[in-house]
Structure 1
């Protein structure tokens, strides 16, 4: 009998410019993709690192007595929030497989989901940022956000059945083999019984099966209907979901809303509208109430600079999160005597000078927006920090605005700007 030789390992796939150019042109939001033997810094987020992050976030939840961000399913049924804290990973589990051994002794079929690992992913967050920076450069910055999720367990099917999300998903197994079954949105529309289905044998022939293991990566677009399948073996997979359900018009409306609040004043806060007559005897509506006339005047008075400044502030605040739902940070309490430095040379404090007043400056980090007037010292401090310097606050923030500027700096610290 001839002994079969082991299959040759897949040729390494590098996520270089050639890959991203092709991905943006032919794959993104168009069709699924499976890559074997991926060469990327993201592979540093392996089973050991993921276990450490999981325990770190679980400890945080236990300390707060709040399991928000975790979901636990037993035989496909979602556990109550108060019970989730009892089944979270612990340091004594030592590994993902150790946690699985403890859970398997309690539950024949379980699934743990964590949607908030980015909150504690301080050391490795730059790896995600490097990946998403390239993605965004090629497909555009998401109007919503990206978030990191984790699925682990020995569940045979995704606990909520065949479903579709509003995000494109990059998935990275760290333990075991992961199988995803995919259908197109067109097919799902013609077969509505697929929605949340657990029994779908008659639809399998029209599906695409993606199978990946540690070192591999798979992607599917936001329109793909999907479900994870298993033979009951343990697997752990983290993913990056890029949400694409927030159209540009909503970004504009969101930015404009803050300007309306400022421009309309008390009129914008009224909850009833005085009127002379609602309509004529024939039902014709011809007259606007006074509140609307006042609002029209306020809108007509808007200048191009006010609009430009409003949208610049909104855009700056949005991109200050680097495209993520949350970013991890270490709590830092500041005083004038504090020495501070940026958490990362790739996570700068963004700023802009006001257009309606050259004495106003706006600064943003991690979704926080602060304002400073006549901010020469504050601006010098931000520029020094962005240049990679470690700074003594009192060398920059002085005089009449010192108290307010220190408060603004603390807001940036609370958003995670400093270490």
Structure 2
């Protein structure tokens, strides 16, 4: 069977005809993301599960039995273990305990920096053709022998790409118009009378399916084991919210303590006729503040927050490794294709820096800027020659903040 290439021609067609419009099913897709083996995925699951057991916190995992979500304290006992040896081995152990189970692992790729690029290669092409998400995307792995999605028929606020890893997966879809006319679909498991109005997508390893955020859907199975990647691209944050959040940040800073007052002093609420003829003093002061905002201040805050937003590369979280820097450390970018973002402030003499995790640094240090430029050029750099003078201690702290966000490797 001929492979379906996710090339520029495909993405142009996808953006025009399918994105947020209608579902898509592709057979035998050629993509590095799909070519991750079941053994590689099992190793990632065990790695993440071991981390959760070590800190006694199953965050990132959810477990369902017969459609009921397990309590957090019970999830640790059912996570994959190295002794399972494979996804099939894990299923064999779970199948002896549960007739219907579903394990969900959100953001599995965050535990392995070497595999993260498989996801970003895919999303980079997607974003280039449909736009950068105002919220985020997240990748999850669903596995088990569950006969139906544990939470029933539902509609999300995200467009979904699914990539089966093991077993056959069936997705039953209803379009938005039908879902709106039949609210009884919401969270139901009993939809026999609605089936004739649905679309069924059946996929296996090597295939890919997509449906828009408006599609009502549920996964179905005959009880056989399956494992499936699911990439959700959230489309529920309008542009106006991003702008208002940025402006709010600026106003919070400008208003200072006056912005935290919870009671408003006044001389007169209205005259005898009920007419409002003026503002309380606190509102008048705020009005002056708004009138005095310069275009450069507004552009500066919007630019800074946009840079911070895109530093996450469109994801909810990014993988990182704990590193402890010293002035003697030698650094290299963790990913040569993911430079540390920076820009000059439009209202001060400082520069802003952003890296994975949405962290933001503000500094006027020339040495720090030169170091960042050289790192972004692909060089390996010892810290000490760049950090000099009175700002060196503060600069090292700034670098540590970027390191904590996952910006560097130490050589």
Shift of residue 282, structure 1, vs aligned partner: 4.6
Among 370, 383, 407, the alignment partner of 1:380 is 370
Partners of 1:118 and 1:326 within 8 A in 2: no
Among 227, 248, 267, which residue is 1:257 paired with? Answer: 248
Count of residues paired in the alignment: 408
Does the 8 Å contact 2:137/2:314 carry over to 1? yes
In structure 2, the partner of 1:363 is: 353
Q: Give the corresponding residue for 1:31.
A: 22
Deviates more, 1:44-53 or 1:124-133: 44-53
Partners of 2:252 and 2:14 lie apart in 1 by: 42
Contact 2:110 2:116 in 1 (8 A): no
The correspondence for 1:319, drawn from 296, 305, 310, is 310
Aligned partners of 2:367 and 2:386 also within 8 Å: yes
Alignment map for 1:71-150 (pairs within 5 Å):
71-150=62-141
RMSD over aligned Cα atoms: 1.1
1:49 Cα deviation from its structure 2 partner = 1.9
Distance 1:177 1:279, change over 3 A: same
Q: Counterpart in 1 of 2:261?
A: 270
1:284-310 deviation line (CA, Å, top 9, x unaligned) = 443322111111111111111111111
How many Å separate the matches in 2 of 1:279 and 1:55?
67
Show the counterpart of 2:228: 237
Give the equivalent residue in structure 2 for 1:167: 158
Quote how far apart the aligned CAs of 1:276 are.
2.2
CA displacement at 1:44 relative to structure 2? 2.9
Q: CA deviation at 1:63?
A: 1.4
**2:382 matched to which residue of 1?**
392
Residue 341 of structure 2 is aligned to residue 350 of structure 1: yes
Q: Alignment partner for residue 310 of structure 1, among 301, 316, 321?
A: 301
Give the whole-Å Cα distance in 2 for the aligned partners of 1:289 and 1:57: 56
**Unmatched segments (≥5 aa) in structure 2:** none
Paired position in structure 1 for 2:183: 192
Range 268-277 or range 34-43, more displaced: 268-277
TM-score normalised according to structure 2 size = 0.97
CA distance, structure 1, for counterparts of residue 405 and residue 263 of structure 2 = 37
Identify which range, 132-141 or 262-271, moves more after superposition: 262-271
The answer to whether the Cα contact below 8 Å between 1:118 and 1:147 also exists between their aligned partners in 2 is no
Question: 2:195 maps to what in 1?
Answer: 204
State the SS of the aligned residue for 2:371. helix
Query: d(CA) in 1 for partners of 2:396 and 2:405?
Result: 14
Determine the structure 2 residue equivalent to 1:5.
none
Distance change >3 Å, CA 384–CA 189, structure 1 → 2: same
Taking the aligned partners of 1:352 and 1:292, their CA distance within structure 2 comes to 34
Range with greater deviation from structure 2 (62-71 or 177-186):
62-71
Q: Distance in 1 between matches of 2:36 and 2:361?
A: 34
Alpha-carbon distance in structure 2 between the residues aligned to 1:337 and 1:261: 39
Q: 1:394 to 1:189 in 2, by over 3 A?
A: same
**Cα offset for 1:283?**
4.2
Alignment pair present for 1:14 and 2:8 = no
Provide the C-alpha distance between the structure 1 equivalents of 2:220 and 2:11, rounded to a whole number of angstroms: 29
Distance 1:143 1:404 in 2: 32
**Paired residues of 2:163 and 2:229 also in contact (CA < 8 A):** yes
Change (3 A) 1:276 1:45: farther
* Cα displacement (A) at 1:280: 3.9
Structure 1 equivalent of residue 149 of structure 2: 158
Any idea what the Cα deviations from partners look like across 1:38-68, whole Å, max 9, x if unmatched?
0011123231222111111111111111111
Paired position in structure 1 for 2:55: 64
- Provide the residue aligned with 2:284 in structure 1: 293
